[in-house]
A and B are shown apart, each in its own frame.
Chain A
Amino acid sequence: MANTIDTNDTNDTNGTGTTRSQCIDQSYQSLSEHFEAYVDCELTGTEFVRFEAHLEECQYCERQLEQARSVAAALRALPSVVCRSEVVTATLRGIGADSTDRVLPFESARESGMISRQEAASGSRLLVWARAAAVLLAIGALAFAGMSLLEGPQPDDIAAYSQDELIRAEQDLRLALAYFGGLTQKAGLVLRDDVLAEHVLTPPLRALSKISNDSQLEYGQ
């Protein structure tokens, strides 16, 4: 990353143009590891004694130690930042976890900026799949019902249906399929009407028609 602090210690100055070479100890590099540990009281006994002895003699390292203390103090003194309550409220409302129990659709939440676009997209996808699953289940149930009709009506059953009932059943079936067609579109499924008609609508209609004809024959007898 371009805008990060250089991890090398080669530019280690004290702001006045003096460099680490002014430390009286030739092994400065190893000492430079000690300032922060010294401030945190984490040096071992031997290191502590050696480091303090060095500080007595080296003004440069004494200044470095003061800087180390300043950094530690400044970090601890950084203000506690608080999150705006609106941010939390909007988020809770967006995910339906606020105390009002109000669950917003993901699309609405996204439009109002309550949740991020990625989350909304993820939520939308979940909704689509849930709807699609519901529609497929409903179509499956309908097809199963149609197949039952296709198995062929028993003579006793035929007699049980009046002509009006059969016409009403056909109308109900068409309405139900139109409703499922609309649902599939809302679910984002691209199921063509002719495909629906061929595999879902036609078989039960054919069965109904057969029942109707048989029924007419029976009534005509």
Chain B
Amino acid sequence: MRSRDLRNFDEVVADHKDMVYSFAYYYLGNRQEAEDVTQDVLVRFWRHWQSLEAEVMPRWLNRVTRNRSFDVLRSRTRRVRVMVDEVDETAAERVEATEPGPESSAAAASLQEVIRKAVARLPEPYRSAVILREIQEHSYADVAQTLEIPVNTVKTHVHRGRRMLRAALAESGHG
């Protein structure tokens, strides 16, 4: 492989790695598993990237990331592992630092933590739709192409997912 191609691959990975990791992180609610999924997706991307047009790369990556995350979730269930809602104490290290403002109060942080955990507990297909549309802020059209469903169905999934989060928020006392 020519070195120019390698540099291109490096650049493409640099552009998309956080999108891959972010989806896996919010989907699985676990940093280590998200890193494993990211590595796995990048290895698969390496095998296919030369056959992918630039404009379909984000969609391809999102789809593969979602499938791999789902596989991890399924294997987690198979192992009948006790799921503990771990408090990710070191999450701050992985999170882009932002200047503390009014929204960064303890209450807002607590609300975000409740939401983050609730997202990772949403059933499919609502979880993927909410992460792609509401957290990663992809367009409805992009989400529809990634999930291979009509745009109106995406909207319905997103709204229902948020409704479930609303109920979860109320249950947690943040209502």
Distance of A15 Cα from B26 Cα, bound (Å): 25
Quick one: CB contact mask for B19-50 with A, threshold 8 Å, 1 for yes?
A: 01110011000000001101110110010000
Residues of B within 8 A of A6 (CB): 164, 167
- The 8 Å CB contact of B174, one of A15, A92, A94, is A15
Quick one: CB contact mask for A56-81 with B, threshold 8 Å, 1 for yes?
A: 00000001100110111011111111
- The 8 Å CB contact of B167, one of A9, A16, A98, is A9
Q: How far is the CB of A121 from chain B (nearest CB, A)?
A: 12
Q: Is the CB of A37 within 8 A of B115?
A: no
Q: How far is the CB of B68 from chain A (nearest CB, A)?
A: 10
Q: Is the CB of B13 within 8 A of A71?
A: no
**Contacts A13-B171, A83-B35, A119-B43; is A78 near B135 (CB within 8 Å)?**
yes
- The 8 Å CB contact of B166, one of A1, A37, A67, A88, is A67
Interface residues on B, range: 35 or more
Q: Does B64 contact A (CB under 8 A)?
A: no
Residues of B within 8 A of A (CB): 3, 6-7, 9-10, 13-14, 17-18, 20-22, 25-26, 35-36, 38-40, 42-43, 46, 73, 77, 83, 91, 94-96, 98, 103, 108, 111-112, 115-116, 118-119, 121-123, 130, 134-135, 137, 155, 158-160, 162-175
15 pairs, CB–CB < 8 Å, chain A vs chain B:
A5-B164, A12-B167, A15-B172, A70-B169, A71-B162, A71-B166, A77-B112, A79-B98, A79-B112, A81-B22, A81-B95, A82-B96, A91-B42, A99-B7, A118-B40
Residues of A within 8 A of B (CB): 1-7, 9, 11-16, 32-33, 35-37, 40, 42, 63-64, 67-68, 70-72, 74-84, 87-88, 90-92, 94-95, 97-99, 101, 115-116, 118-119
